[in-house]
Structure 1
Amino acid sequence: MSLPIEERIKQMEQEEQELRFTSFTNDTALELGLAIVEEAKQADKRITVDITREGHRLFLHAMEGTSPENEDWIRRKNNVANHFGSSSWRMACQLQSEGTTMEVKHGLPFVDYAGAGGAFPLYLEGQGRIGTVTVSGLPDQEDHDLLITVLRRFLTKQQ
């Protein structure tokens, strides 16, 4: 049973407040990226994963069964997360609940901004937003959920 859209939006706002790093290095990106890939393998899912910090791609992996199209979705989802400072899925749900689109409400072209699940902003305590972690290849909610599951587990281990 899925939550009503308003509750999902509140849940995602909470995730954005909670899922923050106390430190983040290139090695952190590698470990996180590999954890996301492993989670997808365990679930028998095929995804592409991207982790970018301040415009510098630190991790990219495309699993067998994905395509270059997944990288274009990542680019477009990252644009949303970077523009709004929130998850691409929260923005998509917010706009859906308002009955509008990014293009209509914000003038952001569909070709460059995807209101779809899978991009999540990376926040570093004391510094703010530093980048994005993005998954592409699954339905919107699954892309988002996979990412949140791994981020929760990863950040719990970091503490």
Structure 2
Amino acid sequence: MKTYAEHLPIELWILIFRYIEIHDLFRAFTNLNNYFNRILASNHLLFYIQLRKDDIFYKEQTIFPSWSTTILNRIISLKLSTKKHRKYIFQFLNLHGKELIRLKSLTIEIYEREICPSCIDFLKYHSIEYLSLKCIPNQVLIEAILSSPKLCKCRLYFW
């Protein structure tokens, strides 16, 4: 017997899930039932990630080792909102940058000494449309931002 939630069309759930951060979404709906498992597996459902200081995955998982390519391919927004774990964003981009084919929004804090060549290449060759950086700028970073192919909005906070 279907519950009332399962009477709602999948398209409506996809619209609702678009506003729920991926960690919260998977904690709440993974293995709830087949209906929600199919929605979470749908290629039409896109994800956003907000890495916060209270996320336990920093301790439990190093750089999302268990995330499949199908999940990484559906990430559209990545936001780092803590200074304590900012090094993980660069490791994440280095390891999984090629799988983030739909990433459109990137918000991070960086420091000049932490900018690595793979991160600069990531900005140059991905179709990021929105970029927000808090950083100490250098020439290589500015050139990477200016050469980004689809960048529409850029918010820079220079220290």
Q: Shorter-chain TM-score category?
A: under 0.3
Name which one, 1 or 2, has greater alpha-carbon Rg.
Answer: 2
TM-score, length-scaled by structure 1:
0.26
Q: Which structure carries more relative contact order (alpha carbon 8 Å, separation 6+)?
A: 1
The alignment's TM-score, normalised by the length of structure 2, stands at 0.26
Between Structure 1 and Structure 2, the one with more helix by share is 1
